Structure 1
């Protein structure tokens, strides 16, 4: 358990991607089976322990510590595992003498897998007693699944590939046919056996990604070599149906099928389509596309009521065809795959699948003009694809480009601040900002967005100090900040889209907002008004 605790601690404090990769590779090399497999599953959130819930952890600690003290501590720290690990009464003596060194990840996981809901708390309580604070933190993260160590599932797969000297696409293709603790996978990565047979039904195929571009860079390429299509503002998915298996994968290979049963039901084909998941309604022989805010009603749900499915029906706008029947098309030129895609989409339900249209152009100037004046607000830019390009996993430069619309900018006023998580748990780093509305002589602020990135570490310290010095009310971990026409902090906010929203008092919601810069020089009354955003929306 101690090596896993040290791994988590170092991952949290390591900002470099390459350094995180090395930590994961070294851990896999030094840790035996099945501990390393369970650790990997915990980090990728693929380890599910049903006998332990956060509420049970809170009950345990409140039996040992004054509940009011725990409540104040939890409010300050902002993370359950970190709070419990620090506040749990530590017995006398060294953790090693209490048997902490003999406690392994596999012992914990296998014991909890076989434990009842009544036995689970007793086991956890006993382990908390023998571990030190670092070990307690790792234990609680392991069993509750609340990993926030700056490591994505994709990064873990890359680390496994580096550890075994394999291509990451091989790991991605195998992943959904594997279960923790991944013994066949590690046997192959160690060089002890042949590559495991892909047991995943309707497997994920690693996606091809586009490189951002601009007008200057495009002048290096011949426009005759490329085809163009719109870049739609949904989520990139891969829908695959083979035999009796049907799967919907995100671009990173996560299985999101459960959130879209209506789309699964329509996947009566044999093949794999690469496209954009959107919400839309049949209208005049086509599909009227909903905004991203409509799609958000369907995302991150384990169960979707029939009423919600009917109100926000999901469909896929097809970009590419990777598999048709038992034929792999990825090695074909894009132009050829496109012809196959057109024939394929013609044979699937028109209310659930349509074709992303190609755009006519003769020069990059034509492309720029199209980009600046898209026909639909759900479009966020253009895609450019080489006619002769194969479908290659990763982000090769040249075959595919994306040219997104320029971000929009407004000046807003800081209204609320909330504590961050992990290494930011001591700072107010999540900010809600608003714009003015109402009479010019008596304006009121209404929230229009929330952002937690776009500023430097030094700027974070400056904002945190401003929040503490200008707090007017407290609501748990949230502080209301003084924001008046003549007193407040103005922030320039960049965002990529704007939607109408009945859930927000302002009636609008920003898409991908981020802090562009701090306007210490600007008085709050000069910040933008709601009418400015409404004009952008219209």
Structure 2
């Protein structure tokens, strides 16, 4: 467990992607089975421990530490694992330190009634860093700046194999991945594809910049809309139906209505969207916020299925009836997709249309004035391009619409995670409106990126110097017509939302720049954002 804890700590404080991959490959090389396999499962979110909940850990620590002291410490630190790991009165000179395998296997066997005494013994034996790692592991809060795909990239680097080979096998593998490591170390052949309806690594596009336009020959390209949803891959094989995100996460259980409508053996690349059920003759796309209501749910209610039905706007056909179509040129795959879509075997599938492509000027006009609000730009694809995993140069291009910009006032700041845990780095901002008592700020969004490390330190100091109230890890910041900090916020779109006090939800907000020069009274008003709302919202 100590080795796993040291890995997590190093990953948190290593900002570079390559640095994280190096740490992971060194860990895989120096750690035996099955510990390294369980570590992979934990970091890829494939480890589900049900016998321990945060409330149990709070109860354990309050039995050993003054509850008032614990409450004050937790309020100040803002993170349960960090607080408990430091305040726990651990015993000295323990001869036995549990391994990662001991912990995972034991928690898989014991009941919830047995868990408190077992976990307390582990807390006693472990050092504070290992105790922190254990709490994060067993409560599912392992946020260390490492995505599942980064772990797969590290596995590919470790074994000298293409990452797409690992991604295609992934859903047929089981933790602690002994067969995978045996293959990567050259001790056995590649594992057989055990999963039906496997994920196929996606092809990605490069953003179009002004310098790129002269290099792109439009006569060799096909163009289509870029839809504002979630990129997915749906696969049907031998009665098995699956829906994957672009990174290979299986989200099939969240969209049973969509999967039930698939009646042909295919692998389709497309955009997951929500349509208006009141309009039956065509798919009218609902705002992205409606799609968000369905994401990350373990159980989807009948009401939600009826009010927010899902469909796929298809872009590409990767596999059909046992044949891998990825080596074919895009124009040929597109022809196959059109043929299949016309057969009516997919009631919840709609073909993304090809759009005219005559000149950059005409394309720019289409990009700026799309026929639907759910369109966020245009895609350019070489007609002769095979479907290649990753981001091959010059094959696919995306040209998104320019982001919207507003000036908003910082209202609340929250401590970050990982290397930002000592800084207030998550910011809630608002705009002005006229309330019953005069001018007031109303929150319209939250962002935690878009600024440099140096700017983060300056904002953090501003937050600490201008705090007017505290709510656990959150601080309320002085924000009046005379005093405060203005952010220029960039975002991709807006929609109505009953969940937000302002009645508006922002799509992908980020800090575009800091406006230290701008008086808070000159920040934007809610009416400005309401005027930006699509007419259909």
- TM-score normalised over the length of structure 1: 0.96
Matches within 5 A, 1:35-114: 35-93=35-93, 97-100=94-97, 103-114=98-109
Residue by residue over 1:459-518, the C-alpha shift from the partner in whole angstroms, topping out at 9 and shown as x without a partner, is: 222222222222222222222222111111111111111111122222211111111111
Aligned residue number for residue 172 of structure 1:
167
Q: CA deviation at 1:284?
A: 5.8
Distance 2:382 2:188 in 1: 40
For 2:328, which of 332, 348, 367 is the aligned residue? 332
More divergent stretch after superposition (456-465 vs 17-26):
456-465
Residue by residue over 1:96-122, the C-alpha shift from the partner in whole angstroms, topping out at 9 and shown as x without a partner, is: x5322xx21111111111111112222
Q: Given the alignment of the two structures, is residue 247 of structure 1 paired with residue 242 of structure 2, yes or no? A: yes
Distance 1:273 1:181 in 2: 30
Do the aligned residues in 2 keep the contact of 1:229 with 1:358 (CA within 8 Å)? Answer: yes
Q: Given the alignment of the two structures, is residue 527 of structure 1 paired with residue 523 of structure 2, yes or no? A: yes
Matches within 5 A, 1:19-418: 19-93=19-93, 97-100=94-97, 103-281=98-276, 283=279, 285-348=281-344, 351-418=347-414
Do the aligned residues in 2 keep the contact of 1:209 with 1:394 (CA within 8 Å)? Answer: yes
Do the aligned residues in 1 keep the contact of 2:92 with 2:125 (CA within 8 Å)? Answer: no
Distance 1:132 1:30 in 2: 21
Q: CA deviation at 1:218?
A: 1.7
- 5+ residue gaps in structure 2? none
Aligned residue number for residue 465 of structure 1:
461
Do the aligned residues in 1 keep the contact of 2:264 with 2:345 (CA within 8 Å)? Answer: no
Do the aligned residues in 2 keep the contact of 1:412 with 1:435 (CA within 8 Å)? Answer: yes
Distance 1:153 1:231 in 2: 25
Do the aligned residues in 2 keep the contact of 1:149 with 1:422 (CA within 8 Å)? Answer: yes
- 5+ residue gaps in structure 1? none
Identify if the C-alpha distance between structure 1 residues 123 and 15 changes in structure 2 by more than 3 Å, giving closer, same or farther.
same
Distance 1:121 1:274 in 2: 46
Q: Secondary structure of 1:484's partner?
A: coil
Q: CA deviation at 1:71?
A: 1.9
Matches within 5 A, 1:423-462: 423-438=419-434, 442-462=438-458
Distance 1:370 1:262 in 2: 33
Do the aligned residues in 1 keep the contact of 2:21 with 2:154 (CA within 8 Å)? Answer: yes
List 4+ stretches of structure 1 deviating above 6 A. none
- TM-score normalised over the length of structure 2: 0.97
Cα RMSD between the aligned structures? 1.5
Q: CA deviation at 1:420?
A: 1.6
Do the aligned residues in 1 keep the contact of 2:207 with 2:398 (CA within 8 Å)? Answer: yes
Distance 1:141 1:523 in 2: 42
More divergent stretch after superposition (339-348 vs 304-313):
339-348
More divergent stretch after superposition (326-335 vs 504-513):
504-513
Do the aligned residues in 2 keep the contact of 1:238 with 1:248 (CA within 8 Å)? Answer: yes
Distance 1:57 1:195 in 2: 42
Residue by residue over 1:150-192, the C-alpha shift from the partner in whole angstroms, topping out at 9 and shown as x without a partner, is: 1100000011111111000010001000111011111111111
Q: CA deviation at 1:349?
A: 5.4
Q: Secondary structure of 1:203's partner?
A: coil
Identify if the C-alpha distance between structure 1 residues 54 and 348 changes in structure 2 by more than 3 Å, giving closer, same or farther.
farther
Q: CA deviation at 1:330?
A: 0.5
Distance 1:141 1:328 in 2: 41
Do the aligned residues in 1 keep the contact of 2:241 with 2:259 (CA within 8 Å)? Answer: yes
Q: CA deviation at 1:222?
A: 1.2
Q: Secondary structure of 2:276's partner?
A: strand
Q: CA deviation at 1:441?
A: 11
